[in-house]
Amino acid sequence: MARIKTRYVGVYYRFAKHRIMADGKPDKCYDILYHANGKYVWEKIGWRSEGYTVEDAITIRGLRVKAIRHPELMREEQAPQPDDGNDQQTTISDLWNKYTELYFPQLKNKRFPSVMYNKYIKPVFENTPASSITKLDVEKLKSSLLAKEQKSGEKLSRSYINKIISLLGRLLNRGVEWNMVDISNNPISHTLFSDADKKRERFLTRAEASKILDGLRCMHCEAYIFAKISLFTGMRLSEIASIKKHNINIDARIVHVEGKTGFRSAYIPENLVSIFTYLKNREHPKYKEQCFDRDVSTMSRYFRFVVQAIGLNSNVSDSRYKVVFHTLRHTFCSWLAMEGIALYTIGELVGHKKLEMTKRYAKLSPDTKREALNKISRIL
C-alpha cells in the first residue's frame, strides 16, 4: 500500500487492498510525517473505518510539531501519544490462529498448509511480530529450507519451498486485510524461486514401468500396490495414502480420494479390481478405516531405491527428466494422450483443476490432430 500525499503538509493516506467501506470505496488509512530528534518520523493515525478523518490527521500532526518545538507550551499529558504499535505485537502465531479460525473452513484440504506451517514456518517465526519481518528474514528462511533434508534424505524441492513462502505471505496479507497488521509492502514479494515451476517431461516406457513394478513386488508389497495404483489411475501418492475402505465402490469401479484439490472420484480399471477388493476387505488391526499407513515417505524411499538399482536416473541432473514417484502419474497421462484420449477426459481422470495443466500432453497425440484434419476435409 503506497502512501499518497494530500494537499496538506505532512499528511498522507493509503488504501486497503481488500477492505471495502459501506459506501463502496476502499478503506483509507491516514499517516503523518514530521521531523523529530534529527530524523523523519512516520506515524499512523488511523483508518476511515475507525472513524478517523483527514482533519484528525492535521490536528494531531500540529500537536506533535508544537510539542517538539515548544514543549514548554504544552503539558506532556495533554499531547496525544504516538501510536503504541499494538499492530506490531501481532505475531505470526496470532495470524495463524486467526487464519485457521476464519479461513480454514473455506479450504478443501487443510492438512497441507498445516504441515507447512507447523514444520517449517512455526519454528522460525512463531513469536515474531508480523510487522517486523523483512525480505532478509524471508531470504534466510529460503536458505535454511534449501539446506533442510527430509526423512527420506531428499532435499525440499524449490516448488515446495515456494509454497511454504507463499503461505507466509498469505498470512501477512490476511493480517493486513483483517486490520491486525500494518505493513506497506509484503516482504515475500520477489522472493519466490522463478525456476521452480518446471514441468516434468519424463514418462516411462512400458518396459521401464514393468521393471519398476517387478522390483517393487520383490522388495515391498505395499510399495508395489502404491506404484501400480498410481500408474493405472493417475492418483497422487498422498491421495493413495488417504484412501479409506468405505470410499471404495467395487461395483461402480470408483474410489473417492482426498488430494490437494479436495475430494474427487478416481476410476478403478479392470486390472486393479482385485487389488482394491483386497484393500477394502482385508482385516488388520492397523487398518480399520484406512487402507494404508499415511506415512508416504517409506513408499517414496522404496521407489527411489528400485529406480536407482535399475539405473533410470544415472547421470540425470535436470529435475524434469528424473524418475520419481510422481512420474507414474505423469506416465498415466502421457500414455492416455498417446492413445488419442481427449485432453479434457485426461484432466478429469487425474483431477486437474484447469485445462492448462493438461495441455502439455497435447504434443504426445499428433495423430489425433491429423485425424481431426482428415475428418474435416471429408465433410464436403
The answer to whether 180 touches 311, Cβ cutoff 8 Å, is no
- pLDDT value of position 77: 47
User: Alpha carbon of 82 to those of 59, 78, 217: distances in Å?
Assistant: 13, 12, 70
Cα angle 39, 45, 47; round to 5: 140
Mean of pLDDT over the chain: 83
**pLDDT digits over 28-38, tens only?**
999 999 988 77
Mean pLDDT, residues 68-91: 60
**Among the listed ranges 18-32, 152-166, 321-335, 360-374, which one has the minimum average pLDDT value?**
360-374
**pLDDT digits over 163-178, tens only?**
899 999 989 888 888 8
Distance from first CA to last CA of the chain, Å, rounded?
60
In the chain, how long is the greatest CA-to-CA distance?
98
Reported pTM: 0.56
**pLDDT digits over 230-277, tens only?**
999 999 888 898 898 999 999 999 999 876 666 788 999 999 999 999
State the DSSP code for 290: B
Cell of 286: 492397523
Burial 113-129 (b: 16+ CB within 10 A, else e): beebbeebbeeebeeeb
CA distance 330 to 209: 12
**Among the listed ranges 151-155, 305-309, 310-314, 342-346, which one has the minimum average pLDDT value?**
151-155
- Domain borders along the chain are 4-83, 88-177, 206-370
More confident residue, 299 or 81: 299
Of 346, 160, 325, 302, the residue nearest 239 (C-alpha): 325
* pLDDT of residue 367 exceeding 70: no
**pLDDT digits over 317-354, tens only?**
777 788 989 999 999 999 998 888 888 888 888 888 77
Choose from 145-159, 215-229, 338-352 the range with maximum mean pLDDT: 215-229
CA distance 108 to 101: 15
**Among the listed ranges 121-125, 193-197, 244-248, 346-350, which one has the minimum average pLDDT value?**
193-197
- pLDDT value of position 377: 67
* pLDDT of residue 74 exceeding 70: no
Span 206-370: which CATH code?
1.10.443.10
Listed in sequence order, the residues at least 6 apart from 1 whose beta carbon sits closer than 8 Å to its beta carbon are: 14, 15, 16, 17, 29, 176, 184, 185
- pLDDT value of position 320: 75
Listed in sequence order, the residues at least 6 apart from 103 whose beta carbon sits closer than 8 Å to its beta carbon are: 174
326: left (phi over 0), alpha (psi -120 to 50) or beta: alpha
CA distance 172 to 88: 12
